[in-house]
Amino acid sequence: MKNYKTYSLWRTNRQNFLFILIPFVFFSCTKKNYSSKAAYQFNAADKLPDYSHLYYWAAHPWKKNTSDSIPKPLRATYKKDSSADVFFIYPTTLTSKKDQRWNAPIDDASINAKTDNSTILYQASVFNESCRIFAPRYRQAHIRAFFIPEKESEKYFDTAYEDIRNAFVYYLQHYNGGRPIIIASHSQGTKHAARLLKEFFENRPLQNKLICAYIIGLPVPENYFTTLKPCNDSGATGCVVSWRTFKRGYTESNYVAKENFKAIVVNPLSWTTDTLLVPSSKNYGGVLLKFNKIIPHTVNANIHNNVLWTSKPNIFGKLFITKKNYHIGDINLFYMNIRQNVKTRISAFWRQ
pLDDT tens digits, 141-160: 999 999 999 999 999 999 99
Radius of gyration of the chain from its Cα atoms, rounded to whole angstroms? 19
Residue 98 in this model has a pLDDT that exceeds 70: yes
The continuous run of DSSP H or E covering 269 comes out as none
Q: Rounded to whole angstroms, how far apart are CA atoms 337 and 171?
A: 28
Share of the chain above pLDDT 70, in %: 86
User: What whole-number distance in Å separates Cα of residue 47 and Cα of residue 114?
Assistant: 19
Phi, psi (deg, nearest 5) at residue 175: -125, -30
Tell me the mean pLDDT in the region 209-227.
Answer: 97
Task: Work out the average pLDDT over 41-69.
Answer: 95
Position 319 scores a pLDDT of 63
Q: Is residue 27 part of a domain?
A: no
Determine, yes or no, domain membership for 35: no
**Mean pLDDT for the stretch of residues 152-175:** 98
At 254-299, the pLDDT tens digits run: 567 678 899 999 999 999 999 999 999 999 999 998 999 999 999 9
- Structure confidence at residue 37 (pLDDT): 63
Domain boundaries, position 312: 5-20+48-351
Q: Average pLDDT, stretch 129-134?
A: 97
More confident residue, 314 or 34: 314
Q: How confident is the model at residue 15 (pLDDT cuts 50, 70, 90)?
A: very low
76-85 core/surface letters (b: 16 or more CB in 10 A; e: else): eeeeeeeebb
Question: Parallel, antiparallel, or unpaired: how do β-strands 301-304 and 307-310 relate?
Answer: antiparallel
Quick check: is 172 in a domain?
yes
The answer to whether residue 199 is domain-embedded is yes
Specify if 31 maps to a domain: no
For residue 41, what pLDDT is reported? 84
Does residue 195 form part of some domain? yes
The total domain count for the chain is 1
Averaged pLDDT for residues 113-126: 97
pLDDT for 38 equals: 67
Residue 34 inside a domain? The answer is: no
Residues in the chain, overall count: 352
pLDDT of 8 = 37
29 pLDDT more than 50: no
Kindly tell me if the per-residue pLDDT of 207 is higher than 80: yes
CA distance 304 to 106: 39
- Domain assignment present for 33: no
Quick check: 67 pLDDT over 60? yes
As a whole number, the mean pLDDT across the chain is 89
